[in-house]
């Protein structure tokens, strides 16, 4: 299997993702929110790049939808929830359409729209994504959303975990960044929290802003066995998984 890992959303272009399966990662915190909401029975997620687009779609679905997202890590004024996955519990999201806009993650999902199949991954569902990619056995691009268009270690360790799980089972060819993130993950998997505290500026920004609980939550691995897929504006779970 051929795998290309991209360092941030700014490396995505149509040529790289065309006819490829794409995996979008934003561990802190957009894709951790998406996986959590779907695991807690949200009907679907609708990601948007801008606050204006999100509000417009909310108006059309007011009875069924909730507005969620952040700017500079803080809840957008007038929204129901920010970007803390711990808010996306069953009582808040069951049967709801989640209209979401965040600084990095939702922008990355939109940038990958031309991919063959677009999967949504975080550490909390990494094994389910790796198993799905092995099953598909297709050329795959793993996109780390990054933070403000820059490489971000939270996303890199998740990409590393996914490729490490795949490489244990099938032969892969991969770009240099793919091998780098695999090594980084394998050397630090015993204590991801301390590793990110040392190396990840966005992790420390969230910590300073009081989101410590989110950090512990997002760094758990494989707590959900679900594979969210983005298709024509909506993210849903495939195969009833």
Per rule CB under 5 A, is residue 21 in the interface with Mg ion?
Answer: no
Give the single-character DSSP code of 105: H
Per rule CB under 5 A, is residue 164 in the interface with Mg ion?
Answer: no
Contact 9, 106 (CB under 8 A): no
Strands (E), the chain: 2-6, 21-25, 44-47, 65-71, 74-75, 97-101, 117-121, 140-144, 173-174, 228-231, 234-237
Per rule CB under 6 A, is residue 104 in the interface with ligand L3UKIRZJ?
Answer: yes
Q: Positive or negative CA dihedral for 49, 63, 124, 227?
A: negative
Per rule CB under 6 A, is residue 95 in the interface with ligand L3UKIRZJ?
Answer: no
Per rule CB under 6 A, is residue 155 in the interface with ligand L3UKIRZJ?
Answer: no
Instruction: State the burial class of residue 116 (Cβ atoms within 10 Å of its Cβ: 0-12, 13-18, 19+).
Output: middle
Per rule CB under 6 A, is residue 83 in the interface with ligand L3UKIRZJ?
Answer: yes
Please, which residue, 72 or 168, has the CB nearer to ligand L3UKIRZJ? 72
Per rule CB under 6 A, is residue 178 in the interface with ligand L3UKIRZJ?
Answer: no
Please, which residue, 28 or 129, has the CB nearer to Mg ion? 28
Can you tell me which of 17, 23, 25, 26 binds Mg ion, judged by CB under 5 A? 26
Helices (H) and strands (E) in the chain, counts: 11, 11
Per rule CB under 6 A, is residue 228 in the interface with ligand L3UKIRZJ?
Answer: no
Stretch that binds Mg ion, among 31-39, 56-64, 72-80, 104-112 (CB under 5 A): 104-112
């Amino acid at each position: 299997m051929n795998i290309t890992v991209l360092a941030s959303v700014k490396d995505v272009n149509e040529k790289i993702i065309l006819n490829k399966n794409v995996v979008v990662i934003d561990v802190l915190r957009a894709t951790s929110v998406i996986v959590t909401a779907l695991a807690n029975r949200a009907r679907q997620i609708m990601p948007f790049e801008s606050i204006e687009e999100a509000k417009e779609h909310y108006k059309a679905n007011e009875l069924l939808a909730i507005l969620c997202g952040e700017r500079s890590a803080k809840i957008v004024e007038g929204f129901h929830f920010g970007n803390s996955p711990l808010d996306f519990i069953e009582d808040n999201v069951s049967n709801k359409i989640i209209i979401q806009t965040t600084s990095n993650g939702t922008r990355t999902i939109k940038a990958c729209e031309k991919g063959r199949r677009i999967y949504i991954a975080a550490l909390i569902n990494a094994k389910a994504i790796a198993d799905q990619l092995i099953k598909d056995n297709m050329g795959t691009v793993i996109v780390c959303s990054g933070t403000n268009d820059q490489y971000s270690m939270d996303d890199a360790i998740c990409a590393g975990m996914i490729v490490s799980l795949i490489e244990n089972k099938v032969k892969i060819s991969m770009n240099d960044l793919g091998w780098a993130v695999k090594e980084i993950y394998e050397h630090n998997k015993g204590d991801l929290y301390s590793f990110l505290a040392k190396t990840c500026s966005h992790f420390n920004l969230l910590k300073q802003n009081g989101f410590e609980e989110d950090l512990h939550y997002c760094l758990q691995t494989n707590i959900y066995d679900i594979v969210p897929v983005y298709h024509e504006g909506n993210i849903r779970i495939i195969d009833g998984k």
